[in-house]
């Protein structure tokens, strides 16, 4: 089967730096990682075998050194860890930091903070963790929660689909014509690059494989983008999840990967696909989703 790789795919600089820092720290002594360092099972397993302890609860940090994830952490959590005597290392990506700074500025302008993102996602939790009042929206109907707010400051989770974010902001402006709305586009450049590259590749392919962990928001958005374009799209965390029946009758498969997916995992998926012999027979087409 012919495999075409997207122009941009795979691990971003923010994740690479966080993984490098974690590995360096594990060589120096006992380390606890607060939250998933990045959303990829392979990376998490690598941290486990390097001896890092993982927890999602600050009260369960029992080593002196603690590493905070690339997705950002609320200031009050950092302050608490420092007060308890921990040595805090912060792997926050500069592009997540940028969202925190943009939101601080919007709040300083007297705006109600609005985050376009997934409630409960670690990045969004880090963003709202220090706020008394905020609104998280993800779908058009969520905009109703903002009725009556005169001044809004809007940012987006870094890994949202840009087109979706822009549609939501347009909905906000339509539904709240009297509100003073300021939107800062905080979808990060590596996320945009991967989305745009997949958009360019999609028409050349019969199907798309997205290599990314099930908890990786940006991988899910890539899968969503391919399906919206009407392609059969399969998201896998590793080559072992690929299934022959998905590719029967497929001539060209496009491959992309989320920003937390290690190169080795992508290479294994690529190799599997390249050596797979598709049967261009009168078989049922592959299912549109799994
Ligand atoms: S996806 Fe974007 S914000 Fe997140 S770590 Fe990578 S570069 Fe940073």
Q: How far is the CA of 251 from the centre of ligand 1 (A)?
A: 33
Look at residue 77 in the predicted model and tell me its pLDDT.
94
Question: Are 219 and 265 in contact, with CB atoms under 8 Å apart?
Answer: no
> What mean pLDDT comes out for the span 131-139?
96
Question: Are 226 and 253 in contact, with CB atoms under 8 Å apart?
Answer: no
Contacts of 117 (CB under 8 A, 6+ apart): 123, 124, 127, 136, 138, 156, 157, 160
Residues 157-213 pLDDT 10s: 999 999 999 999 999 999 999 999 999 999 999 999 999 999 999 999 999 999 999
Residue of minimum CA distance from atom 7 in ligand 1 = 14
- Domains delineated in the chain: 2-10+189-275 (3.40.1010.20), 13-92 (3.40.50.11270), 95-183 (3.40.1010.20)
Residues 37-72 pLDDT 10s: 888 888 888 899 999 999 999 999 999 999 999 999
207 lines ligand 1 (CB under 6 A): no
Q: How far is the CA of 105 from the centre of ligand 1 (A)?
A: 21
Separation CA 235–CA 244 (nearest Å): 14
Six token digits for residue 261: 């997916």
Does residue 283 register a pLDDT over 90?
Answer: no
Residue of minimum CA distance from atom 1 in ligand 1 = 259
Look at residue 286 in the predicted model and tell me its pLDDT.
47
- For ligand 1, mutation pick of 94, 121, 188, 220 (most atoms within 8 Å of CB): 188
Other beta carbons within 10 Å of 264: 11
Six token digits for residue 190: 């590596």
Residue of minimum CA distance from atom 5 in ligand 1 = 14
DSSP conformation class of 25: H
159 lines ligand 1 (CB under 6 A): yes
Whole-model pTM: value is 0.88
């Amino acid at each position: 089967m012919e495999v075409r790789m997207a122009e941009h795919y795979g691990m971003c600089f923010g994740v690479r730096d966080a993984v490098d820092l974690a590995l360096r720290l594990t060589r120096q002594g006992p380390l606890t990682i607060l939250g998933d360092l990045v959303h990829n099972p392979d990376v998490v397993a690598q941290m486990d075998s390097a001896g890092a302890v993982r927890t999602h609860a600050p009260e369960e940090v029992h080593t002196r050194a603690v590493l905070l994830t690339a997705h950002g952490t609320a200031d009050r959590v950092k302050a608490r860890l420092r007060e308890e005597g921990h040595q805090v290392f912060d792997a926050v990506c500069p592009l997540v930091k940028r969202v925190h700074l943009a939101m601080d500025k919007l709040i300083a302008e007297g705006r109600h903070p609005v985050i376009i993102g997934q409630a409960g996602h670690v990045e969004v939790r880090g963003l709202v963790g220090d706020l008394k009042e905020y609104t998280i929206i993800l779908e058009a109907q969520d905009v109703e929660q903002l009725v009556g707010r005169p001044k809004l400051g809007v940012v987006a989770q870094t890994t949202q689909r840009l087109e979706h974010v822009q549609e939501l902001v347009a909905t906000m402006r339509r539904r709240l014509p009297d509100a003073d709305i300021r939107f800062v586009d905080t979808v990060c450049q590596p996320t945009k690059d991967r989305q745009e590259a997949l958009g360019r590749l999609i028409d050349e392919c019969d199907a798309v494989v997205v290599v990314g962990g099930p908890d990786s928001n940006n991988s899910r958005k890539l899968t969503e983008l391919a399906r919206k374009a009407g392609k059969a799209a399969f998201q896998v965390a590793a080559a072992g999840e690929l299934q022959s029946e998905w590719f029967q009758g497929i001539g060209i498969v496009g491959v992309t990967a989320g920003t937390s997916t290690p190169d080795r995992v992508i290479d294994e998926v690529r190799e599997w696909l390249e050596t797979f012999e598709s049967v261009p027979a009168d078989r049922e087409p592959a299912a549109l989703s799994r």
